[in-house]
Amino acid sequence: MPINPAEVAHRAASDAELVAWVDAHDQLLGALPRAELRERGLIGRCTFILLFNRAGELCVHRRTLSKALYPGYWDVAAGGMVGYLESYEDSAARELEEELGVSGVALRFHEKFHFDQPGNRLWCAVFSAVWDGPLRLQPEEVMEARFMPVAQAQQESARLPYCPDSLVALQRYLANTV
């Protein structure tokens, strides 16, 4: 399947975006382009926003094929890298609006955790929100989205490619809220 030229341009801009570079204790060290942070194996900050509807179903979306990490994977959370000097909460609100078109909702902070895999080293902040309105997907980042029971997303993740970092965020959320 060919990649849309708009996705390619969006990816180039995303790779050049200055993001927060932190140490193993989440202390800010400076700003680096997103691609350089990945290439050098350094740690960045990111957010995960678990979006539920009032029925308790989780919004699951499929990432575009142009994404640097986990292209075409299913994702249980909206979110992304925290910009330099941006707060976790501001990043979460921005990412939720950019990716899914959801704004003006209360974001509930749950916890931070460290995720460390080759090419994806992160301090992660987990948020949740409730939304029953329409979704407006960002076509450069999100191919499709739907709400489903959490158990269904967990079952699908055993047989379909799901983003491992957001699955950890969901597992930690469930372990601490149930």
Tell me which residue range forms the domain holding 100.
Answer: 5-176
Residues marked as binding?
95, 99
| Spatial distance between the Cα atoms of 144 and 71, rounded to a whole number of angstroms | 13
Hey, which residues does 30 pair with through a beta bridge?
21
The pLDDT value given to residue 2: 63
Say how many domains are in the chain.
Answer: 1
Q: How far apart are CA 76 and CA 125, in angstroms?
A: 14
Query: What CATH number does residue 72 fall under?
Result: 3.90.79.10
Per-residue pLDDT, 10: 59
Binding residues for Mg(2+): 95, 99
Nearest to 160 by CA among 70, 82, 41, 93: 70
- CA 166 to CA 157: how far, in whole Å? 11
pLDDT on residue 11? 62
pLDDT of res. 14:
74
CA distance 22 to 16: 17
Pairing of strands 74-75, 78-81: unpaired
Q: Output the pLDDT for position 12.
A: 61
Each residue's pLDDT, cut to its tens digit, for the chain (178 residues) gives 566 776 666 566 677 789 999 999 999 999 999 999 999 999 999 999 999 999 999 999 999 998 989 999 999 999 999 999 999 999 999 999 999 999 999 999 999 999 999 989 999 999 999 999 999 999 999 999 999 999 999 999 999 999 999 999 999 999 998 6
What pLDDT, on the 0 to 100 scale, is given for residue 96? 98
